[in-house]
Structure 1
Amino acid sequence: MERTWRPRRPVDVLATLAAHRRGPYDPTFQIDARGRVWRTCRPGGEPATVCVARSAGGEVTATAWGPGAAAALDAVPQWLGSDDELEGFSPQHPVLADAFRRFPGVLIGRTGLVMEALVPAILEQKVTGTEAFRGWMRLLRKFGSPAPGPAPARMRVVPASELWAKIPSWEYHQAGVGPQRARTIVTAGRHVSQLEETASLGTAEADRRLRAVPGIGVWTSAEVRQRVFGDPDAVSVGDYGLPHAVTYAFTGERRGSDELMLELLEPYRGHRHRACVLLLRAGATPPRRGPRAPVRDFRGM
């Protein structure tokens, strides 16, 4: 199935969809040699593969395969920020204003797919990106299903939402997922229906329901709301590097804190996440001055 959509304003397909990519070898997200984005998903619980490309004329063409193809194609405009409103966002700081000018096509999209955003966010709690991406890849390879259609090699579709609660603890262990994160995923999987109902609710109620699950805090909730609801104000408080990046961009200081970050972002309330996305896109991050955090392996514990 194929659909062509003309956005009401320019959209950078790759940059906008990149929020859903979990590492360079994500089995659910790949970019081919022609620059097309391939994604797998389960809209309505049915597997689908979607290939999204932008033409020279500004149109976006999406092609989909699998039982969930029609639902996925219907959702593509929202993935690419068709509902994203810029009203009230007027960056004054020169670094942010320059990023806004340089990257007008970076929008905040929404997927409505709660568990597909929640599980990898939980995997990323308090670990290095390498650890999180490795666990995601191993779980998808074992419990995901083959991508429908002519998808790039080794692409997988995420497991059905209710399956996450049924994965045994030793399988999470073999995937390098620590026991606390594994328990959080299993607990979330036991409350799938209540969590997935949040896709039709406001972001405040979604935040309340998400944080009612043991192991899900303010950071994880924000990471989910950014992707599922396209919330342009959901700041990832508690992130390891974001406070330093925002502080460096606005003040030139290399070290920051959550409190200082929120103070600097306050003039952009309603669009604080958008401001962070643009600053990171512009590369406004402090230079590294120490070793990277070590990559742990829980499988030997």
Structure 2
Amino acid sequence: MSVALLEHATHTIAVGSKSFAAAARLFAPEVRRSVLMLYAWCRHCDDVVDGQELGFTAVAQDAGAAAAALARLEAQTRQAYAGEPMQEPAFAAFQEVALRCAIAPQHAFDHLAGFAMDVREARYETLDDTLRYSYHVAGVVGLMMATIMGAKEPAVLDRACDLGIAFQLTNIARDIVDDAQIGRCYLPAQWLREAGIPQEELALPRHRAALARLAARLVEQAEPYYASATVGLAALPLRSAWAIATAHRVYRQIGIEVKARGARAWDERVGTSRATKLWLLCRGGVDALASRFRKTASARPAALWQRPIHAAGRHAAPATAV
């Protein structure tokens, strides 16, 4: 792997996700490089579809332009798996990690399907719909990350997917108002009707108290997924378990802060301070060590949303077909 690709990936995560960047430093060097390269691809795809740069709004795109951008990403992903030369640094990085770590093509295309849902301006009527979206944009990233760390057992991959879903539910709660300002809403429409909030008025200050209750409800929905994910730590190498446990603690703390701030949760972007991250890093280390002594894994709760299980060898469907 070239130094330039690693520098590109390191810069991408440092700017695009300060929360995960802190945890990523804990991985063993080879795993960390692969994780960073995968993150760079995920961030690039998100930015291309949304007309952003490293998560920050750059230019607005109409639906036609976004659909064309998504089609290019699908084509480039196929080319990456075919071993063709990649000019875009994010795709060169993805090609290397995907082929070396045998990341299933279906996982990559499932991730692109999440962006397709945004392009189509999908509506989320029920919590299951929100969970399905969360799988595509984050749960499947957990599957790819776990693959990089050497996880192969379906039960372990389920726990990795659960963590990604928990992360996304937390992100949705934190970003409700920001998303609403660009015309997006990932909260279940059923919840909005029950709360008496018209979707087109979601960002208005007069709905903050009701919105805070919905955000708290979503944060609570993430809890069983965070709990499930903890069980998967035992299957990971110790340093990987430490990194993932730290990310788990940091993202969960963001949800706790959103819930605690109530109607003030969107006055400024909720995050964690450097001191808090250091404390959570220590707690993550304790979690990782404790996982070494866990003799039996508890069964995954049947009530949790189950990721789709694709038949072995099935050709990945285009994201726009999902």
Going by fraction, where is helix more abundant, 1 or 2? 2
Going by fraction, where is strand more abundant, 1 or 2? 1
